[in-house]
A and B are shown apart, each in its own frame.
Chain A
Amino acid sequence: MLRSLDYAGSPSEPASLGMTGLREQFPILSATSRGKPLVYLDSAATTQKPQVVIDAERDFYTGWNANIHRGVYEYSERATVAYDGTRATAARFLGGVDADEIVFVRGTTEAINLVAQSFFRPRIATAGATVLVTEMEHHANIVPWQLAGATLVPIPVTDAGELDMEAATRLLAARPAMLAVMHVSNALGTINPIAELCAMARTHGVPVLIDGAQAVGHFAVDLPALGADFYCFSGHKLFGPTGTGVLWGRREHLAMMPPYQGGGDMIDLVRFEGSSFARPPERFEAGTPNIAGVIGLNAAMQWVMAQDTRAWERHDRELLELGRHLLGEIPGLRFIARPADAVGVLTFAMDGAHPHDIASILDGEGICIRAGHHCAQPLHVRFGVPSSARASFGPYTTEAEVRALATGLQKVRELFG
């Protein structure tokens, strides 16, 4: 049954495809944009933040702000315990790894740069320079390897927007120095068969880095079951603050890796003749970190762990199917790909209407989508389009919002004829 569009309120009457009580925890979702109710369909770029995350950062700054480590006074001690304690939360959040394998970074991008420079680069002499990536990778999982001296070999993507696993099998057998692959595609929504890739890589002795940026906000990640060597994600795609992120690395890898950046907090002993360094994870955290952000990230992970993420997955899947159906009826609209196993991402092009024009017309309706290459230029080359339009969902996205997107796109169609 069709429902009337009702965005702003009525928490007592959730939409038929809605998560009861979830939306109300996100203050921004009752706001307006361009004078219309905000329809936020850009969660793949960044997720919105629940009140508990906003409160956690605000409470730290208003109540007990102090720098961590080395301070013996009450507030510093409290900040230190909260910051370092977030490692245990992250370890639990990732399915049960060790807290001292958790390195805090600014985001996924910094995590990959760190592994490229401190793990991959020193091993080029013995393991070679080939890094196996995929055609769907985000620039953040391409450029850091190039800067570290890699020769990239991409696993092809099929017309359906999925990895060509036969090619992956063949390319892994050639024993590249590293496999770096995204868990979920930011541009297409594809959920990649990570456990299978890790198992294959393991038989050939190839270390694996997983870019989990787009996975963690959609479903629970169980690292012990995946069998990767490194996993990383950004806090801001997990309902947490920008400028925060987590790199998990196997203890034996982290132990042999040289520092990534030098400065305070990462040292053991400093002399002008030379310095020695702290053990992991502190070895990789030079300078005062984003303390307030990490405290907010802690709140975000705790919040997610208290949610029914199985229900999120069903909701996401239902919205994706609805979106594919509704958008599929718009003349001249075509999806870049329709991967079978995917999170809530609709990526498309329209005849005669450039993605930036589509996004501007929708913006006039208060609908936020993204237009461009989504930091995945090679993928757009693969599909023969310069850019695309992308709508992406979060657990707070409603059926009414997906219908509003379809209505807005009908307007685009009428305007561009």
Chain B
Amino acid sequence: MATMNELYQGIIIEHDRSPRNFRTLDAPTHSGEGRNPLCGDEMSLQLVVDAEGVITDVGFQGRGCAVSKASSSMMTAAIKGKTVAEATELFDQFHALLTGKDADRTALGKLVAFEGLGAYPMRVKCATMGWHVLKDVVGHKS
């Protein structure tokens, strides 16, 4: 299992430096914000969901640690092109991965790289912050 420093040296620093979909959308169908009161981190997420329920575009903005930023970045890349139902199912798998439960590793794809974070429970909420905002956002239209 990767140590925290190996996690940083791998995906985290890379996505922290060049986060994917780190932008504001012009015409989102869904938007929302999340905050971690423990660290003061903030994040906003916007989606464009079409009539078939497919997430056709996604953008996020925010201020947070490298773990939350990298995880949010990879989340946006993973959910683009998926339906809302598939995306929320992916969160369940991601959560299972980080809490040491059986997870569908094929479905998770690149997100498996976060597995080592499960050994650091205090940082799991950093990695799931974006996903929690996603779950909240798909519940309300903008």
Contacts and interface: CB of A to CB of B under 8 A. Distances in A.
Contacts of B40: 372-373, 377, 380, 386-387
Interface stretch (A17-25, A187-195, A358-366): A358-366
Interface string B126-138: 1000000000000
Contacts of A355: 39, 65
Contacts of A371: 39
Interface string B1-32: 00111001100010000000000000000000
Given A372-B39, A415-B9, A354 B4 contact: no
Interface string B24-49: 00000000000000111100000000
B8 A356 contact: no
Contacts of A372: 38-40
Contacts of B66: 353-354, 357, 416
A361 B5 contact: yes
Nearest to A372: B39
Nearest to B3: A364
A354 B129 CA distance: 15
A356 B13 CA distance: 14
Contacts of B81: none
B64 A354 contact: yes
A191 B9 CA distance: 40
A14 to B, nearest CB: 31
Interface string A31-70: 0000000000000000000000000000000000000000
Given A364-B3, A372-B38, A373-B40, A415 B8 contact: yes
B65 A357 contact: yes
Interface residues of B, number: 18
Given A356-B39, A377-B40, A361 B65 contact: no
A387 B8 contact: no
B110 interface: no
B105 interface: no
What DSSP secondary structure best describes chain A's contact surface?
helix
A373 B40 CA distance: 7
Contacts of A354: 64-66
Contacts of B9: 415
A373 B123 CA distance: 16
B126 A364 contact: no
Given A373-B40, A416-B13, A364 B65 contact: no
B55 interface: no
B141 interface: no
B120 A360 contact: yes
Contacts of B3: 364
Interface in A350-402: 353-357, 360-361, 363-364, 371-373, 377, 380, 386-387
A357 B39 contact: no
A377 B35 CA distance: 14
A356 B123 contact: yes
B8 A361 contact: yes
A354 B40 CA distance: 11
Interface of A: 353-357, 360-361, 363-364, 371-373, 377, 380, 386-387, 415-416
7 contacts: A355-B65, A356-B39, A356-B65, A356-B126, A360-B4, A361-B5, A372-B38
Given A377-B40, A386-B40, A416-B13, 7 more contacts: A354-B64, A360-B8, A361-B4, A361-B8, A364-B3, A387-B40, A415-B9
Give the 6 A-B CB pairs with smallest separation, nearest first. A354-B65, A356-B65, A386-B40, A357-B66, A364-B5, A364-B4
